[in-house]
Amino acid sequence: MAAFACLLSGGEGYTYVPIARLAREPAGSLPERIITSGVYLPDGEYEWLVRGVLADQGAQVRVLGSVFDWRPPARARIDVWGRMRHDASGPYFEFWNGRLHQDTSRGPRPTPAVAPGQPLTLVVRLRFVGADPFPYWIAETEDRVVFFVESLPGRPPSGIVARIRAEVLRGGPTGGAVRITNWEPVPWAPPPPPGG
């Protein structure tokens, strides 16, 4: 089990938690960053949403989240990372990203701690948000950390997943502000959703 959990962890700060434990323990008693494995059973066909259940050895947990740069295939055994949350329907696993089971070519990309003046390279979803007269760009990481973009060369399509090089202008544990010096689309990500 230890070797299996090590293979699954794949990202600093993530803890492997089996589906059975996710299904029985309250979200507050679980680690903040989780990786788990199960069969994905969607409850419909969604292009930009992961919604259904993860099942493993008779246990299951509801899964919900937006696609970042990978969409899980229906009825496939997958490894996913995210965190446990709670809504009006009860507990659920918030999907951040994933991979086919034991595919070591992909793994979690946790957002590092940042400080002003620090150079930064990240894979993010760039989105144009807000409304006139104050629209603005944000860069959201796979683990849902948001950076306000104060400078961006060019005008990428809103919603694109890109590798950025940036300078941190303001930073903290939940994001900050960056000046992007370069961005390029990642080739493996699906195209941006309509409207970004």
- Residue 4: its pLDDT value, please? 42
pLDDT for 28 equals 87
How many beta carbons lie within 10 A of that of residue 186, not counting itself? 12
Neighbour-count burial for 141-151, b at 16+ CB within 10 Å, e otherwise:
bbbbbbbebee
Q: What is residue 56's predicted lDDT score, i.e. its pLDDT?
A: 97
Radius of gyration of the chain (CA): 17
Residue 4 sits at φ, ψ, to 5 deg, of: -65, -45
* Digit-coded pLDDT (tens) for 24-38: 998 889 999 999 999
8's enclosing H/E stretch is helix 2-9
**pTM for the full model?**
0.87
Closest to 82 (Cα-Cα) out of 64, 70, 102 = 64
Q: Hey, what amino acid is at 39?
A: V
Residue with tokens 């961006």: 152
pLDDT at 47 (0 to 100) = 86
For residues 132 and 153, give the distance between their C-alpha atoms in angstroms, rounded to a whole number. Answer: 21
Domains defined for the chain, CATH in brackets:
2-100 (2.40.50.140), 119-185 (2.40.50)
User: Which tokens go with 167?
Assistant: 């300078």
Q: What is the pLDDT of residue 5?
A: 45
Q: Which residues of the chain have pLDDT under 50?
A: 1-9
